[in-house]
Structure 1
Amino acid sequence: MDPELTVFTQAAGTTLVTLMATDAWQHTRDGLTRLWQRLQPDRAHIVSDELDASREEVLRAHSAADQEMLSELRLQWQGYLRRLLLAQPEAVEELRRLLDEAGPEAAVHASRITQHGTASGRARVYQAGRDVHINER
Structure 2
Amino acid sequence: MEAELVALAAAGASALVQQMVGEAWEQTRGRVAAFLARRSGRDVTAIDGELEEARADLVDAEASGDPDARAEALAEWRGRMRRALRNDPRAAQELRALLAELGDREPATRQVVETHNHISGGTYYSTVIQAGTVDRGDRGGTQPG
TM-score, structure 2 normalization: 0.67
Is the CA contact (8 Å cut-off) linking 1:37 and 1:44 kept in structure 2? yes
1:44 and 2:54 correspond? no
Amino acid at match of 1:36: L
Note the C-alpha offset of 1:128.
8.5
Secondary structure at the aligned position of 1:67 is classed as coil
1:6-45 matches, within 5 Å, as 6-45=6-45
Query: Whole-Å Cα distance in 2 between the matches of residues 76 and 36 of structure 1?
Result: 13
Amino acid at match of 1:92: A
Is the CA contact (8 Å cut-off) linking 1:13 and 1:78 kept in structure 2? yes
Identify unmatched segments of 5+ residues in structure 1: 119-126, 132-137
Amino acid at match of 1:65: G
User: Residues 9 and 128 of structure 1: is their aligned pair in 2 closer, same or farther, counting only changes over 3 Å?
Assistant: closer
- Which of 32-41 and 68-77 deviates more? 32-41
Secondary structure at the aligned position of 1:66 is classed as coil
Note the C-alpha offset of 1:86.
0.2
Partner of 1:81: 81
Secondary structure at the aligned position of 2:23 is classed as coil
Note the C-alpha offset of 1:9.
0.9
Is the CA contact (8 Å cut-off) linking 2:20 and 2:55 kept in structure 1? yes
Query: Whole-Å Cα distance in 1 between the matches of residues 52 and 88 of structure 2?
Result: 23
Is the CA contact (8 Å cut-off) linking 2:7 and 2:111 kept in structure 1? no
Query: Whole-Å Cα distance in 2 between the matches of residues 66 and 18 of structure 1?
Result: 16
Identify unmatched segments of 5+ residues in structure 2: 118-130, 136-145
TM-score, structure 1 normalization: 0.70
Query: Whole-Å Cα distance in 1 between the matches of residues 114 and 42 of structure 2?
Result: 39
Is the CA contact (8 Å cut-off) linking 1:6 and 1:82 kept in structure 2? yes
Partner of 1:101: 101
Secondary structure at the aligned position of 1:38 is classed as helix
Aligned-residue RMSD, C-alpha: 3.2
Amino acid at match of 1:12: G
Partner of 1:3: 3
Identity of aligned residues (%): 29
Q: Report Cα offsets for 1:91-110 as digits up to 9, x if no partner.
A: 1121121122123xx56x99
Is the CA contact (8 Å cut-off) linking 2:33 and 2:44 kept in structure 1? yes
